[in-house]
Amino acid sequence: MLQVEDWGCVPYDEAWQRQRELLQRVQSRQAQNTLVLCEHPTVITIGRLGSRRHVLLPEPLLRERGIPVYEVERGGDVTLHNPGQLVGYPIVRLSEYREDLHWFVREIEQCIIEVLAGFGITGHRIPGLTGVWVDGARKICAIGLHVTRWVSWHGFALNVNNRLEDFAYIVPCGIADRAVTSMACELGREVPMVEVKAYCAAVFQTHFP
């Protein structure tokens, strides 16, 4: 069964390095397929298809506010992580399921849709736009992956209770004409992160037995 590790709130650069180490162990079969769940202090990351033009906050203000920017291996454009957002890193040998990255992305989307449904939120896909959306207009979960020797790493970012105002610092995923939302925003109340993590772990273990 898929192993689940909770890393708590961890700086992005530390989690990035720990992912690399876990990736190598999963590749060499010294570790099981693993879903890492965590949160990050506020950070901006730029994927392989991203552009610094989509980081809107000037460099001096980023430094002043202590917000690092990292260019990383994952697919996609610019995203932001901050406390109250659930970040998941599925480090999985796709050869045990299907060597198809597009299939894997759709599976992650389906997992998130099921997690949201468990809390009374209807999430869905938009053709051509990776991630999970609400009402066709508000993005609630971003996904950006990388695969090395058919083992996945990087992952998804589900907005739970995080500050949505911080997304004004970027053009989220390079999409300027759609908003972002969170579980708390949709429900009008804070959602216990421990419950979201537990539900997320159970759903992913069902999809990746």
Q: Which residues are catalytic?
A: 173
Under the phi-then-psi rule, with left for phi > 0, alpha for psi from -120 to 50, and beta for the rest, what region is 109? alpha
Neighbours of 48 (CB within 10 A): 13
The pairing of beta strand 85-91 with beta strand 34-39: antiparallel
Distance, in Å, from the CA atom of 141 to the CA atom of 181, rounded to the nearest integer, reads 9
Q: Residue 45's beta-bridge partner residues?
A: 70, 79
Q: For residue 186, give every residue at least 6 positions away whose Cβ sits within 8 Å of its Cβ, in sequence order, or none.
A: 121, 134, 140
CA pair distance 76, 132, nearest whole angstrom: 14
Residue with tokens 């972002």, as numbered in its chain: 180
